[in-house]
């Protein structure tokens, strides 16, 4: 009697499991068909629409999203060996700081950090102010500002480290600001930036079934990627980005892909590994793989990290 009851319960559980799997698969299919409805167009965006859209995109809080915290750790582990960790009064500027995940990394590691940061999004700056934890002796000044005008207002040779992570993707023409970023760094100062690759965008569009648009990715370095918005994006290949940094006077000390084997929801690598769903041991194993292979295949990352120096 008990065996029959157990078998019946087992049968019900299996059926529920299969039903849940079928519903999930159906939902993904529906989402995929929604995503197929996009296109690329090329042309200069109006600043107003770009600002409005960036503002609404910043509703996703990268400070609290667990996968994003994993990627913040990956940035940190790839840059910490060149940072002046023992220096007193390190001056750091974070351009397009978002909700402050990188600001917090630097606060955790520089007991007397002075950080100035900006973001075009009012919401991102107010989230940052709520998110970060300051110790006595640390200072953070956060401004709602476009990064180019923010850099123009900083004194020459006044900054030890400039951060510019995952911002250029949303800002075609970012290259024009490089000379000014170089100007505000002290000699020996470090520029940490990350950029979207052509290869990643091609994978993204192909994974969404948009082969025509993926071809456009080859011909251009910027454009409108998702037909539902007016937001313009920029991308490039790592050798070309390295040349752009060299032309601005920097020496480039490291180029590495971030997330070459993993992704957040919607990324082409999502099915390989999604950090937010992994245990601590799995995250450590993934970090080891990604740190080693990131330098071998930088362009396959979600972003490509460049570590550059003002000599
Ligand atoms: C993907 S998030 C990256 C945030 C942060 N740098 C990080 O790594 O956590 C991109 C951020 O860039 C900001 N942004 C985009 N264009 C900008 C611009 N022209 N000036 C200032 N911030 C900008 C967005 O509002 C958004 O918060």
What is the number of the ligand 1 atom nearest to the C-alpha of 94? Answer: 6
The answer, yes or no, to whether residue 47 has pLDDT greater than 80, is no
**146 touches ligand 1 (CB under 6 Å):** yes
**275 touches ligand 1 (CB under 6 Å):** no
Cα 257 to ligand 1 centre (Å)? 19
Nearest to 139 by CA among 155, 116, 168: 116
Cα 232 to ligand 1 centre (Å)? 13
The answer, yes or no, to whether residue 229 has pLDDT greater than 60, is yes
Question: Between 3.40.50.150, 3.40.600.10, 3.50.30.30, 3.10.310.40, what CATH number should domain 40-309 receive?
Answer: 3.40.50.150
What is the number of the ligand 1 atom nearest to the C-alpha of 62? Answer: 9
**101 touches ligand 1 (CB under 6 Å):** yes
Tell me what the pLDDT averaged over the chain comes to.
86
The answer, yes or no, to whether residue 103 has pLDDT greater than 90, is yes
The answer, yes or no, to whether residue 2 has pLDDT greater than 70, is no
Nearest to 280 by CA among 108, 69, 138, 88: 69
CB-based contact 128:63 (threshold 8 Å): yes
Name the band, by pLDDT with cuts 50, 70 and 90, for residue 148.
very high
List the end-to-end C-alpha distance of the chain, in Å, as a whole number: 81
Q: Average of pLDDT values for 199-214? A: 88
In this prediction, residue 51 carries a pLDDT of 60
In this prediction, residue 100 carries a pLDDT of 97
More confident residue, 235 or 51: 235
pTM score over 0.75? yes
Q: Ligand 1, from 129, 170, 176, 194: best to mutate by most atoms within 8 Å of Cβ?
A: 170
In this prediction, residue 219 carries a pLDDT of 92
Cα 166 to ligand 1 centre (Å)? 7
Q: Is the dihedral of CA 208, 212, 213, 218 positive or negative?
A: positive
Q: What is d(CA 106, CA 97) in angstroms, rounded to the nearest whole number?
A: 12
The answer, yes or no, to whether residue 24 has pLDDT greater than 50, is no
Q: Ligand 1, from 98, 173, 191: best to mutate by most atoms within 8 Å of Cβ?
A: 98
Write out pLDDT tens, residues 105-135. Answer: 999 999 999 999 999 999 999 999 999 999 9
The answer, yes or no, to whether residue 283 has pLDDT greater than 90, is yes
More confident residue, 70 or 65: 70
For residue 11, what are the contacts with CB-CB under 8 A and spacing of at least 6? none
Name the band, by pLDDT with cuts 50, 70 and 90, for residue 14.
very low
Which of 136-150, 197-211, 216-230 is least confident? 216-230
Name the band, by pLDDT with cuts 50, 70 and 90, for residue 233.
very high
In this prediction, residue 213 carries a pLDDT of 80
Write out pLDDT tens, residues 183-199. Answer: 999 999 999 999 999 99
Q: What is d(CA 247, CA 187) in angstroms, rounded to the nearest whole number?
A: 17
Q: Which two tokens stand for residue 226?
A: 């998702």
In this prediction, residue 22 carries a pLDDT of 43
More confident residue, 231 or 79: 79
Provide, rounded to the nearest whole percent, the portion of the chain with pLDDT above 70.
Answer: 80
In this prediction, residue 227 carries a pLDDT of 63
């Amino acid at each position: 009697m008990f065996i029959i009851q157990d078998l019946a319960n087992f049968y019900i559980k299996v059926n529920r499991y299969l039903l849940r799997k079928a519903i999930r698969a159906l939902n993904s299919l529906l989402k995929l068909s929604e995503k197929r409805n996009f296109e690329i167009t090329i042309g200069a965006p109006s600043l107003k629409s770009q600002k409005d859209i960036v503002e609404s995109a910043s509703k996703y809080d990268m400070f609290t999203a667990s996968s994003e915290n994993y990627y913040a750790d990956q940035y940190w582990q790839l840059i910490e060996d060149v940072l002046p960790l023992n220096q007193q009064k390190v001056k750091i500027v974070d351009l397009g700081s978002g909700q402050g995940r990188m600001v917090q990394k630097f606060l955790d590691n520089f007991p007397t950090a002075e950080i100035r940061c900006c973001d075009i999004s009012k919401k991102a700056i107010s989230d940052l102010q709520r998110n970060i934890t300051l110790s006595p002796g640390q200072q953070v000044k956060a401004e709602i500002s476009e990064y180019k005008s923010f850099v123009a207002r900083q004194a020459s040779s006044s900054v030890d480290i400039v951060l510019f992570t995952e911002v250029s993707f949303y800002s075609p023409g970012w290259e024009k600001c490089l000379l000014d970023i170089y100007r505000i760094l002290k000699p020996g100062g470090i520029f940490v930036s990350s950029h979207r690759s052509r290869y990643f965008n091609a994978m993204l569009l192909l994974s969404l079934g948009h082969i025509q648009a993926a071809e456009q990715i080859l011909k251009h370095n910027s454009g409108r990627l998702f037909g539902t918005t007016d937001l313009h994006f920029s991308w490039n290949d790592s050798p070309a980005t390295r040349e752009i940094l060299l032309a601005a006077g920097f020496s480039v000390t490291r180029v590495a892909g971030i997330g070459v084997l993993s992704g957040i929801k919607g990324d082409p690598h999502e099915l390989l590994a999604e950090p937010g769903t992994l245990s601590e041991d799995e995250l450590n194993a993934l970090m080891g793989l990604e740190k080693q292979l990131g330098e071998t295949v930088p362009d396959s990352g979600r972003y490509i990290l460049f570590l550059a120096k003002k000599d």
